[in-house]
Every structure is written in structure tokens, then in C-alpha cells.
A and B are shown apart, each in its own frame.
Chain A
Amino acid sequence: MSYADDFPKQYQSPTPETYAGVYYDGKSSARQAVSLAIAGDRLEFQGEAWSRQVAASAVSLSNPLPNAPLFLYLDNGGCCELPCSPRLQDQLDLAGVSLGGVPWLASVLEGDWRLVAMSTTFLIVAIAAIYVWLLPAVATVGAMMVPTDVQSGFGETVLRQLENKWFQPTGLSSEQQEKIQKRFLQLVDKQPGKYVLHIRKSGIGPNALALPGNMVVLTDELITLVGGDLDAVSGILAHELGHARANHVMRSLIQGSALTVLGSALIGDYSSILATAPAVLGQLRYSREFESEADRDAQMLLCAQGIDPAGTALFFDKISAKEGNLLELLPEYLKTHPNSAKRAEFFRSGC
């Protein structure tokens, strides 16, 4: 124990400083000039026509903030408003005035610009880590936890909605359908689980999609686009199977909603339209990652089945020509899919 701790507190500062402030009695909003002196663990308020001594334990200081007035709340309902003064804060603390539930850590962190810089850095690193590692990991585990029948129920609902709005029964000959279904069966031959391929005529142009519940949908227009080339169709089916096997739809649903929540938690109270921007951009990157993952998976599957991946490049060449040059100029971070030319290149590289 140090000497200072041993020494009676009231003798530590023989000439107490006074602080000018304003006193409100809590019964009216009338302002009374007051000067505050601190002697040991007692606070002396000196008004124009009155004076009052109060024990420090009967007073609480509302969380001090930089350059803002200090509010002392007395237990008789009175309130003393004083200009900001770090020295007064120290003295009140020393006298034993309770800092009404002050987040002590916060005021220490805010007080030092290096700590503020560290907090900001931590914030940026934490958000990046959440985005790159935590959310994908959580989504992968979360998608696995969704029961299979819930997933197929969800997939069927989506398919029904698509059929109501966009899809019509296929216009392909049954012979051609059979050929494609045969290729599909060849691809899913060694896969665990049951996969179904639906072929539909669409109003959305050449497209193929994987739905939850191991469903793959292929449109007539896509088959026409590649001129019925079975190797190209196989590549696309393998790509969609890649999505289905890795459960990308469920994962992107979970990641997307988590991103929206995160975005609005961070800047939502400023502007809700701004809050959607990082969520949308973030979701685009996740989407491109899934596409590349499915491409790699498709290449492996094709090679294992002895189908030449170069056939798939035909589809990307055609789609690239159809998209127009502005899309190629668009930076990749604004797109849901990697550049078609790049993807064609990837498949052309063979096994």
C-alpha cells in the first residue's frame, strides 16, 4: 500500500479548485449559477443564495464524452451541467463519484488515436474474415443441415413457379431427348443420390439451372444454340451437376441473407439503399466463385467419363458472341459469372 492510499483523502488537496456550472433543481427548468468544489469525498455546490454539501456516493456522472458538457445527477433529483473538463473528471473519479455505468473500455479506446486506428483496422480485418471464411463455412454447414425432403420440396416449388411463368413443355423430338437423358444418366452413374433432368422450352433464352433437391433443368434454346452437340450439352449438364453436388443454391441463399443482415447492421441506419450495395457486390463474388467451382468439377467429371471437355467450349463461344461487346468490357466484379471467353479457354485446355 502506498503512502497516498494511506493518507486521509480530505487532506490531499488543501485548496480545492472550483468549477463554474449551472444547477437545475429537477422541479423547474430555471437555471441557477453554481460553483462546484471537491473536497475529499464530498462535493460542495455553492449557489447564489444557497450552498449544499453532498457525499460523492450520492452523485453520479453520466458517461463523459469528448467536448460535451458533463452532467452530474444528484440523488435529490437535481442536476448540475458543467463545461467539459478532463481535470474535473479526474477529480470526480478520485472523489468516488460513480460513473453511471460508463463503458470504461470504450472511453479508453476512444481517448487514444492509435487505439482508434487499431479498432478500425480490426473492424476491416474482421469484416473481411467474416466475408471470406466465416460466412462460406457457416453456409456450407447450414446447407448440409437442411433435410433432403425440405430441399426437394423447395426445388419443386421453384420448378412449379418457373413452369407457371416461363416454361413450356419441350419441343424437342423424343429421340433427341432420349439421347440427352442417356448422357445425363452416364454422368450421374457413379454419384450418390438420385438426380433428375427436366428439359423445357423457355421464355428466358438459352439457360440451364440446378435446383435444390438434385434437379437439373435444361432449356430447348440452349440445345438449339449448340446445334444439338452432345459433348457441349454434356459439359453443361456436368457444370450444373457440379452446382447440385456442392449444394450451391442453398449455400448462396444462406450467404446472401447473412450478407444482407451484415450490410444493414453496419450501415443500414445511414441509408438502406447503400446497405444493399455491399450485399449485392459481395453476393456477385460468391456467385462467380461457385461458377468456377462448378466448372472445375465439370471438367473432372467429363474427363472421368471420357468426354472431351473442349466440346463445352463451343457453348461459351456461342454465348460470348451473343452477349455483345459491352458485357466483355464490364469489370468482372459486377458480374454473376466469370467471362465467357475465359471459361471457353478453361474447357479448351482439356483434361
Chain B
Amino acid sequence: MISLARQDLDDPATGEAAPLATAEILQCEEQPLRFTGSGNEYFRIWAVNLALTVLTLGVYSAWAKVRRLQYFYRHTMLDDAAFDYVASPVAILRGRIIAVALSVLYYLAFDFSAIAGLVVTLALAIALPWLLWQSSRFKACNTRYRGLTFGFDGRLGEAYRTYLPPIAVLLSPSAIAAFVLGVKSQMWLGLLSLLGIVALPVFHALFRRFIQSNLRYGKARFGFAAKTSDFVRVWLKGMGVVVAVGLGVGSLTGLLLGLVGLLLGYNNIGLAGIGVWALGTSLGYILIGSYYTARFQKLLWEKTTIGDIGFRCDISARRLLRIQCENTLLVLLTLGLYRPFAAIRVARYRLGCMAVSGYWHLGDFCAGATQSRRGATGESAAEFFEMDVGL
């Protein structure tokens, strides 16, 4: 990395080595990320995007996606320069058509026969790592900053090594249950699912490391120093928070239900219980969602380096939780019309708490090899199957 760094510091115009150890290079400066988008502006884009998408029966959604991302990227400023998203909507549309075709095939196959379903599931499992790999490449090389594109150098073989084991673990309980153990062995099914839950943090760490350490900006590769144990710790803490909150809410609920029974008659407990359960799970979902979003954003970026440049991320899970609760309430009260404002608020907070610092200057990066910008097949198809994770 360091020798590469020297080369990167060479003057791109003359090819001469830049003078090292000058005061300017050694000065460590911090640049905050700023988000300048506004809810009013984005509301317009959002409303028009949705209206045109409905009007064209979904075809416009690819153009809508490009426009939405361009709005968010171009309002993300670092050192007075904006990011840009340059994906071709036609490539995204092609990917979405393939995704719809794949999922129709998947559902029809199970109607046809169990064997056909199994074959299609296996084929999908084999195709999925390729789709995810394509998706990472597509996303990276369609992102630009200061005239340079990002890139993704992960190898396809490594993508298979990273993604196949979790896919196998996720699919095996249902497959084994249906074909080997018979439908009734719920204990085995439970055990296998439990294995999946225990392995989840490890797989999550592997995914993130694969993506984050293979990204590059121009020619400069990203470094990613987070250990698997860092991920496991965040996962466990999150679970702890949920259990603690669950116990608290649970005992309160018991008390409340007892009161309802005493005051309104015991045949009302079931109904009141359902209401409390619905409210509790929604709140719990927002709570755990905000916690993981904040903590993983912090872990991901504070352990990432680009050459000599590092990131600082002062995100607070509590602040994010408050924003998400208010957003959810307002989205519900306005029947969804507040949603664009909510998206802007979250982006402003999540981006505004980040800063970039290092001895390298942001103007010292060099272009890397150009990558083909085709490959939206992967991004859209993977997105369709809800595999798109992270910031």
C-alpha cells in the first residue's frame, strides 16, 4: 500500500515525483461530509418519480432510481466537491426484468413439482453470488467523485467462497426438512435454524470485509481492519438491548393486561394483548433497526482506510432512534406523504456525522483501470431479492 501511495503522489501531469515530507502533505486535515438536500425539493422528485412509475406500470422505476440516487449523491459534499451517480437507467431496467423473470420462475417451479422447485432453488443459489458480485461492481464504478470513479476489485471466485456458505446454511433447513427428515422433525429444523442465527454475525463480517476491502477510489485500494469479533460484539450487544427492553416491556405489558382484565373483564385480555404485541413489535423493530444501522455504520467506516485517509463517524444510535420514531409517526399520520422528508432527515444525519481525515490530500488520487459499467443485472436482481445491505 505504501509504495503504491508514493506512486499516487507523483505529479500526474509531468510524472515527476512529488516532493515528499512537505508541510502541506504532512498536515493532517479533517473534512466533514455535508448533505445539502432539502425535503421540499426531494418531495417533488419523489412525487413525480412515483406518479410516472405508476403511469408506466413500473417501467419508469429504473429512471426514477437513477434520479433519486443522483439527488442524494450530488447533495453529498466533501471538501466542496459533490459525488455523482452515472448509472444507465436502461441497464437497471434490464436487471429488473431479469429479476422479475427469475422470481416468477421460482414461484412457478414449486407449483409444478417439488423436484423442479429444488432444481430452480439450486440454480438460484449458484447464480446469487455472481449477481451480488456484479452488483458491487456496478455500484462502485457508477460512483464518481472529483472526476475519478470508484471500482470494485473482488474476484468472482472469492465472491463464491464468501456467499455460498451462508446461502447453503439458509437454504438447508427447509431442504433437509422436506427431503431427508420428513416434515414432522421440527426439533432438527429448529436446531438448524439456530445454527443459522449463530452463524449470522460471522457471515455478516465476511460479507462486509469482502466488499469493503476490495473497493478502490481511483487507483487507491480501500483497507478494512475490522475483525470478525468486532461484528459479533455489536450483534450480541444489540441482542442484549432487545432482551433487556423486551423484559421491561413484557413485565409492563403483564401489569397492563392484568389491569384490563380487572377493569373491563377477563375476556378482553386476548384482544388487548394483540394490540400491545403489535405496538411492541413495531417499536422493537425500529429500536433494533436504528441500533444496528448506527453501530454498523460506525464500525464499517472507522475501520476503513483509503491509503492514508481514515474516517470518523460520530453517529449516535439514540439520536437515530429518535429521528426514526418521529419519522415513522409522521409518515403514518400523513399516509406516506412525509416519506421524502423522512428520507432527507435520515440522510442528513447519517452523512452529517461523518468526517474524512488524513495526511493525504483529497486532490492527490490517481485514476485506476477503467471497469466496464455494464452489470446492472446484478445490482437490480440482487436488490429485488432484498440482498442489498449496508450504507
Contact = CB atoms under 8 A, between A and B. Distances in A.
Most buried by B among A103, A267, A323: A103
A203 to B, nearest CB: 15
Interface string B89-107: 1000000000000000000
Contacts of A106: 45, 48-49, 52, 63, 67
The prevalent SS among residues of B at the interface is helix
A143 B44 CA distance: 39
B265 A119 contact: no
Nearest to A116: B44
A327 interface: yes
B272 A326 contact: yes
Contacts of B268: 324-327
Interface stretch (B117-125, B145-153, B222-230, B240-248): B145-153
Contact of A271 (B50, B86, B328): B328
A267 B336 contact: yes
B199 interface: no
- Pick the most buried of B43, B50, B282, B363: most chain A CB atoms within 10 A of its CB: B50
A203 B289 CA distance: 37
Interface in A257-304: 265-267, 270-271, 273-274, 277-278
A153 to B, nearest CB: 11
A223 B241 CA distance: 48
Interface stretch (A11-19, A67-75, A212-220): A67-75
Given A79-B144, A273-B282, A28 B70 contact: no
Contacts of A81: 81-82
Given A325-B265, A326-B260, A24 B336 contact: no
Contact of B12 (A27, A62, A113, A327): A27
B335 to A, nearest CB: 8
Interface stretch (B132-140, B164-172, B364-372): B364-372
A1 interface: no
A122 B51 CA distance: 7
A65 B74 contact: yes
Interface stretch (B25-33, B207-215, B337-345): B337-345
Interface string B36-69: 1010010111011111101100101001001100
Interface residues of A, number: 51
B285 A65 contact: no
Contacts of B48: 106, 109-110, 115-116, 119
Contacts of A267: 331, 336, 339
B173 interface: no
B332 interface: yes
A105 B53 CA distance: 13
Given A67-B38, A79-B144, A270 B339 contact: yes
A274 B74 contact: no
Contacts of B339: 267, 270
Nearest to A30: B363
A26 B285 CA distance: 44
Contact of A68 (B43, B74, B328): B74
B204 interface: no
Contact of B81 (A22, A116, A274, A277): A22
A135 to B, nearest CB: 14
A68 B367 contact: no
Nearest to B144: A79
Nearest to B147: A24
A27 B367 contact: yes
A270 B60 CA distance: 19
Contact of A103 (B50, B63, B81): B63
B196 interface: no
A24 B81 CA distance: 11
Interface string B172-187: 0000000000000000
A120 interface: yes
A276 B88 CA distance: 31
Nearest to A322: B267
A29 B364 contact: yes
Nearest to A74: B147
Contacts of A113: 44
Nearest to B184: A164
Contacts of B282: 273
Contacts of A9: none
Given A29-B365, A31-B146, A123-B47, A68 B82 contact: yes
A326 B271 contact: yes
A321 B45 CA distance: 53
B302 interface: no
A330 interface: yes
A122 B75 CA distance: 28
Nearest to A109: B48
A26 B84 CA distance: 14
Nearest to B54: A126
B363 A31 contact: yes
Nearest to A22: B81
A25 B36 contact: no
Given A25-B12, A270-B331, A273-B285, A68 B71 contact: yes
A127 B41 CA distance: 23
A62 B365 contact: no
B274 to A, nearest CB: 10
A3 to B, nearest CB: 36
B264 interface: yes
Contacts of A126: 51, 54-55
Nearest to A271: B328
A105 B52 CA distance: 9
B362 interface: yes
Contacts of A22: 81
Interface of A: 22, 24-31, 62-63, 65-69, 71, 78-79, 81, 101, 103, 105-106, 109-110, 113, 115-116, 119-120, 122-123, 126-127, 265-267, 270-271, 273-274, 277-278, 322-327, 330
19 contacts: A27-B366, A28-B367, A29-B146, A31-B146, A63-B67, A65-B67, A81-B82, A103-B60, A106-B48, A110-B48, A119-B48, A119-B51, A271-B286, A277-B332, A324-B264, A324-B267, A326-B260, A326-B268, A326-B272
Given A69-B82, A271-B286, 5 more contacts: A27-B366, A29-B365, A30-B364, A103-B63, A119-B52
Nearest 5 interchain pairs by C-beta? A24-B147, A324-B267, A68-B74, A326-B268, A28-B12
